[in-house]
Amino acid sequence: MTLGVPRCNIKAMLAKVLSCAVVGLDGAIVEVEVDISPGLPSFTVVGLPDAAVQEARERVRAAIRNSGCSFPMKRVVVNLAPANLKKAGPAYDLPIAIGILLSSEQVSADVSQTAFIGELSLDGSLRHTTGVLPMVALVHQEGLSTVIVPEADAAEASLIEGATIIPISSLAQLVAYLRGEVPVPEYQADETGEQAPPALSATDLAYIKGQEHAKRAIEVAAAGAHNVIMCGPPGSGKTLLARAMTSILPPMAADESLEVTKIYSVSGLLPSDTPLMRQRPFRSPHYTISNVGLVGGGHWPRPGEISLSHRGVLFLDELPEFGHAVLEVLRQPLEERRITISRAQGSVTFPANFMLVGAMNPCPCGYYGDPFRQCSCPPGVVSRYQRRISGPFIDRVDIFVEVPHVDYEKLSDDRLGEPSERAQARVRAARSRQRERFRGTKLTCNAEMTPSEVRDFCQVEESAQSLLKAAMKQLYLSARAFHRILKLARTIADLESADVIKANHLAEAIQYRPRTLV
């Protein structure tokens, strides 16, 4: 007797819906497979989901019922493929819900060229979802024709040129749209508002009394995106000068704005009324910050403060108070303009092309070397305080400037100084020369030059060679410091529209090297 395999007459109900995951700052296509089969009612999600994705079961169940549809009382299995990619966040709520409705035949539509992104509320409305911009960018890159996103994220998603964005406010509206009952027009960006120039910082150089030497230093730093450390007694204006830095930096280019917007979108810090970041970031973390908070990380790596300050300013006030390990982890991003975080699941690289602006007191009490107030710190304490900043870290900083006590006569003077607008014009002209110089390369400013570019673009006139040689011997400069002096001198020459680095350019660059620090 031969036993035959019984033939199954139950029709398989399988639906596939496309969505997207975020890995670092990049997207990855995720295929949401939904299978509904007879059996005891259950709802299972597989495919390496995190807690937020597992909780989608309850959100999707309630949203379907509150949207006028029926949740199938059968065995529901959802697979998020590829299974080896970790799925995090609530962005899979909408594709899971649509997959269930397709599989249960409550909706019939061709969604093979459509991606779905969105978090569901219990009443079926769609909430704001983080990371929409990199997800839409990948979906468009993969050739999919349409992306369904929450109405609140449509402006952000429309930043990807050529992508067809359908803004949806609720699951009920989407069901009616897929059934052909309600038309939903493609989202059209308001281009008039997007062309508005970014506003200047509230801190204007005109209102900073005195400190002409320090103002010149931050202008040079802004012109070439150089790192700078300011040292001086409390209340001398170091923080004010740092905050004025963004008022003289040139506006971000379109590609730079898109890079910064991606970072803030993934981090969930993108303002609801600002789909595109046009103002250069200014981040000022407290000195109690951890390594992970500064460079990024976590069980599933997220951007840290150095990535949030990408294309902008990272201001570290009270620099020696930061932990030694915290400052040392900055060495790689200061040199490579990016940070790589490795975990057991793999490595993630975040951009970190920022300007470091540090402020510090010369000693714990703040008055070492001050002509008006006596320092109360023993010599050994002062030395240990200054040595908290290591030599390799100092080697990666281009400009060190003293910010002295401001006299009463300057503080009481009613006349305003030079406004930030004029300094910004000079900085923009210098940056324009640099962009022209680096045309055809990935470089954007002088601080990004490697030794090969320094050799090609930092030509020094013969009369200045002896000055550079003397500085190397007297200051015991390393090879890295030597190249940084040349890059800084190149920036100073750009501010004067000079093609060749002259002796006065080198002299100013050399004077920004530290003398008494550490």
Is residue 435 within 8 Å of residue 223, measured between CB atoms?
Answer: no
Per residue in 368-411, pLDDT (tens digit) is 988 888 899 998 999 899 889 988 898 899 999 999 988 888 88
Q: What is the pLDDT of residue 8?
A: 38
Virtual torsion, Cα 47, 50, 55, 56, nearest 10 deg: -50
Query: Which phi and psi angles does 127 have, rounded to 5°?
Result: -100, 165
The predicted pLDDT at position 177 comes to 96
**Do 455 and 185 contact (CB within 8 A), yes or no?**
no
Q: Are 148 and 108 in contact (CB under 8 A)?
A: no
List all residues 6 or more positions away from 224 whose beta carbon is below 8 Å from its beta carbon.
398, 430, 434, 445, 446, 447, 487, 488, 490, 491, 494
Give just the sign of the alpha carbon dihedral 114, 118, 122, 123: negative
More confident residue, 408 or 310: 310
User: String of b and e for 326-337 (b: at least 16 CB within 10 Å)?
Assistant: bbebbebbbeeb
Helices assigned H by DSSP within 91-147: 93-103, 132-141
CB 214 within 8 A of CB 207: no
- The total of other beta-carbon atoms located within 10 Å of residue 260's CB is 25
Minimal CA–CA distance to 418: which of 251, 247, 198, 279? 247
CA distance 471 to 161: 51
pLDDT of 517 over the 60 cut = no
Taken in order 496, 499, 504, 507, is the CA torsion positive or negative?
positive
**pLDDT higher than threshold 70 for residue 12:** no
CB proximity list for 111: less than 8 A, separation 6 or greater: 17, 18, 98, 102, 178
At 79, the amino acid letter reads: N
* Measured distance CA(309)–CA(312) in Å, rounded: 5
Domains, the chain, with CATH or none: 13-189 (3.30.230.10), 205-429 (3.40.50.300)
Tell me the mean pLDDT in the region 241-245: 94
Q: Are strands 146-150 and 126-127 parallel, antiparallel or unpaired?
A: unpaired
Amino acid at 490: R
Nearest to 382 by CA among 366, 398, 399: 366
Given this model, what pLDDT does residue 3 score? 44
User: Cα–Cα distances in Å, from 17 out to 26, 228, 259, 455?
Assistant: 20, 51, 28, 54
Mean pLDDT, the chain, integer: 89
- The residue type found at 133 is L
Distance (Å, rounded) from C-alpha 20 to C-alpha 139? 7
Under DSSP, is residue 500 helix (H, G, I), strand (E, B) or coil? Answer: coil
pLDDT in tens, 179-200: 999 999 999 876 544 444 444 4
Q: What distance in Å separates the CA atoms of residue 448 and residue 454, rounded to the nearest whole number?
A: 10
What's the whole-model pTM score? 0.88
- Which of 193-202, 231-240, 246-255, 439-448 has the weakest average pLDDT? 193-202
* Tokens 């993934």 sit on residue: 266
Cα distance between residue 114 and residue 112, in whole Å? 6
Residue 176 in this model has a pLDDT that exceeds 80: yes
CA 154 to CA 132: how far, in whole Å? Answer: 9
Residues 103, 108, 110: CA angle, nearest 5 degrees: 100
3-state SS record for 275-309? CCCCCCCEECCCCCCCHHHHHEECCCCEECHHHHC
Q: Quick one: average pLDDT of 430-451?
A: 93
Share of the chain above pLDDT 70, in %: 94
Q: Please name the residues in contact with 441: beta carbons below 8 A apart, sequence gap of 6 or more.
A: 453
Q: What percent of the chain has pLDDT over 90?
A: 69
> pLDDT tier at 23 (50, 70, 90 boundaries)?
confident
- The answer to whether residues 219 and 334 touch, using CB atoms and an 8 Å cutoff, is no
